[in-house]
Amino acid sequence: MGGKWSSMDPSQVEVPEINVLLERDPYLRMYETDIRRRYALFKDYVEKIEAGDGDLKQFTTAYKNFGIHVQDDNSVVAKEWAPGAQEVFLTGDFNNWNKTATPYKKLEYGKWELNLPPNADGSCPLKHLSEVKLIIKNHNNELLERLSPWANYVVQPPKTEGTTFKQRIWHPENVYKFKHPKPKKPESLRIYECHVGIATQEGRVGTYLEFAKNVIPRIERQKYNAIQLMAIMEHAYYASFGYQITSFYAVSSRYGTPDELKELIDVAHQHGLYVLLDVVHSHASKNTLDGLNMFDGTDACFFHSGFRGEHSLWDSRLFNYGEYEVLRFLLSNLRWFIEEYAFDGFRFDGVTSMLYHSRGLGQGFSGHYDEYYNLNVDVEGIVYLMIANHMLHDIFPEIVTIAEDVSGMPGVCRPVAEGGIGFDYRLAMAIPDKWIKLLKETKDEDWKMGEICWTLSNRRWMEKAVAYSESHDQALVGDKTIAFWLMDKEMYTHMSTLSDHSDIISRGIALHNLITLITHGLGGEAYLNFIGNEFGHPEWLDFPRIGNAESYHYARRQWNLADDPILKYKYMNNWDRAINTLEEKYGWLHAHPGYVSWKHEDDKVIVFDRADLTFVFNFHPSKSFADYPIGMKNPGTYKIVLCSDDEQFGGQRRVDTNVQHFTQPEPFSAYQHKMMVYIPCRTAIVYAQTGNA
C-alpha cells in the first residue's frame, strides 16, 4: 500500500453520497477532487484487504491468530509479524529462560509461527500467569528481548526488580462471563469521563472492582448515561495519563485483572451505562523492552522510519498507517476491545495529530478550507480513520466514535459514503478553552455575551459535537479546574454552610452553575464532564512523579466533599444532576441546535430556545431585572422547570418557581410573542409550556 495515490482518476471516482456533502456545504465544491481522491485511496485500501484476507471482518479479527494462544487440547500456537528480524524465539518459565531453545518458523511476508505440543501429561506448556518473552535476533546477530505486540496481560514487577513490564500468560480456568446485555446507543450522550486509578479517595491507585462498586452508582445517580474510561490500554508511566501506550492489547494491570475490567463494564451495563474506551492509535511509547518501538530490531516495523516516525512534542513513535500489517494490528485492536471486553464505543485520542504531517503543532487553524486540503494533510492517517469508522459502523451498528480534533476539518463527523471520515461526534475543544481564558483574563462585567454564544454555537452544520466546560485537560497540573479558578482564595475556608457569607464562594458557585448549564444546553449534541467536576472538585490533578515526590495527594477524588451535607459542594452536585435529569426528559442534546433569540451586552443576558424549552441567563454581577421581556416562539402559559437561584443549588431564593408566566401577543426579538420574567443577577432559569412541563 505504502500510501500511494489511487491509480484511478479522482474526478471519476464514485463516492456514493458526495452530493449530500456538497449540497450541505457548497464551499467544499472547490475541493471535490481532494475528497474524491481520499475516497479512492480508501477504496484501494479496502480492496487490497479484501484481495489479501477475504474481507474486513476477517482481516480485523487478527487477535485470534497473532500473539500467543492456548488451544483446547493444551497445545500452543503463536504468531508474530517481525519483518526486520533474522530469527525469532520464545523464552520463559516453560524452558528455563533458554533464549534460543524455542524458535519460531519463518513464513512469508515477515511473519513467524510457533507450535508447542501439550506436555506428556496432557497439560499446557504455558501455565496461567507464567512469564514469557520474545527474543528477536537482528541482523547484527544481537538477541533483543521484547514483549509480543499482541500480549493481552502484562504486569509491573516489584520496584526492586526494575520498571519494565513483564508479559504473563492469561489463561484462567474460569473466564468471566458477562451477565447483562449492552444498553442501546443513547439518543443524548451524557458522558462521564473517568479514570479508574484516581477514582478512590485514598492516596493510592484505585481498582476496577472498587470503581464498579463505589463510583458507578454515583454516575447513575447523577443521571449520566455513558462513561468514558481513560488510561485503560497499558502504559508504562502512570503520570502519562495513559497516553504513552506500550501494550495495545493489554488492559492496565495497575487496576486489576482483565476479568475484573470485564466485571466493571458488566456492572456499568447493569446500571444502563454505555461504555466508551479512550483509544490511543495516534502514537505509541518509545519503550523498546516493553513497547512496540524497535520491535523487530529496526526503527520501522509498526512506525515510519526516521523523522516522520517521531512526534517531537510527545516524544513518541508515529504509526505507518499505509502499512498493511499495521492496519491489521490497529483495526483488530478495535475489534478486540469490543468483542473481548464489551466496550460500546471509542473516543479516539490525538486525531489532529493523525490528520496533518505537522501533527497540528504550531497551527492556529483559522477555519479556511485551504488548511484542510493541502500537502500538510496526512492522507494515510485520514484513510486509516475512514477504514476504522467504516468497519466499526458496518459490523457494530450501535457503536459511537468520537474524534478529539481541534482543527475543525470538514467531514470528520460525516459518513464515509459522503466522503467524510465517519466519526459520530467531535469534541468541541474551543469551549473549555474559552471558559478558562475568560476566567483567567476578563472581569465578569467585561464578558461578551456575543462571544460566548458564538463559541458555544460555532460548529459545522450536521456534524455533531460533544460540549464540555472542562475535561481532564483543564484539570491537570499547570492549570486549574473552573471551580478552583473561581474560588481558590476561599475554597479551603468558606465552603461550609456554617461559615460566614463569602462573596467569592457565592459568585463561584453561581457562575459554575451557569457555565455548566449554558455549555450543556447550547454547546453541542452530547455533553461531557470529567470525574469530580460535577461538584467542583477543589484541586487540580497531578499524578505521582519525581517532581512531586511520588505523591498521590492530587491523584484522587474527594467524594466526601460532595457527600457532606454541611459543605457547599453539594449545591453544584445537585445542579449537575438536575440538568442531566431535565435533559433526560426533554432531550435537547438530540434536538436541533439551540436558537439564540437574545443576547444583550449591557444587561449580560442570553436567551435561547432548544427542545421546546426557553433558557434565560443573566451573567450580570449585580443587576437583577424585574419584568424583563423575552421573545417566545409559542404563545401560552409557562412554568419554571429549573432555576439556579433555588436554595438546593446554592441560590438566594429570590425567584418564586411556582409562579406561572403568560405570553403577550406583542412581537419581541425574533418572535411574535413576548413574556415578562424576573431574572436576578448570576442566575439561569429554564421555562417550559405547562402542557409540556
Which residues belong to the active site? 349, 404
C-alpha distances in angstroms, 243 versus 154, 218, 279, 314? 17, 26, 9, 9
Parallel, antiparallel, or unpaired: how do β-strands 310-311 and 111-116 relate?
unpaired
* Residue pointed to by grid coordinates 452530547: 526
Tell me how far apart the alpha carbons of residues 74 and 10 are, in angstroms, rounded to a whole number.
52
Residues 6+ apart with CB under 8 A from 422: 385, 386, 388, 389, 390, 393, 401, 414, 415, 416
Strand spans (E) along 74-150: 76-81, 87-92, 105-106, 111-116, 131-137, 143-146
Cell (9 digits) for 325: 500489517
Tell me how far apart the alpha carbons of residues 681 and 510 are, in angstroms, rounded to a whole number.
9
Q: Does residue 466 come out as left (phi exceeding 0), alpha (psi in the -120 to 50 range) or beta?
A: beta
Q: State CA 507 to chain mean position distance.
A: 31
Residues 6+ apart with CB under 8 A from 355: 377, 378, 381, 382, 385, 405, 407, 409
CA atoms within 13 A on the CB side of 307: 2
The SS3 of residue 427 is strand
Cell (9 digits) for 81: 509479524
Q: Of the candidates 383, 387, 422, 382, which has an alpha carbon nearest to the alpha carbon of residue 402?
A: 422
CA atoms within 13 A on the CB side of 683: 25
* Residue pointed to by grid coordinates 437583577: 624
CB atoms within 10 A of CB 161: 9
Name the burial class of residue 656, with classes exposed (0-12), middle (13-18) and buried (19+) by CB atoms within 10 angstroms of its CB.
exposed
Tell me how far apart the alpha carbons of residues 401 and 503 are, in angstroms, rounded to a whole number.
43
**Read out DSSP for 225-252?**
-EEEEES-EEES-GGGTT-SEEEEEEEP
DSSP letter at 211 equals I
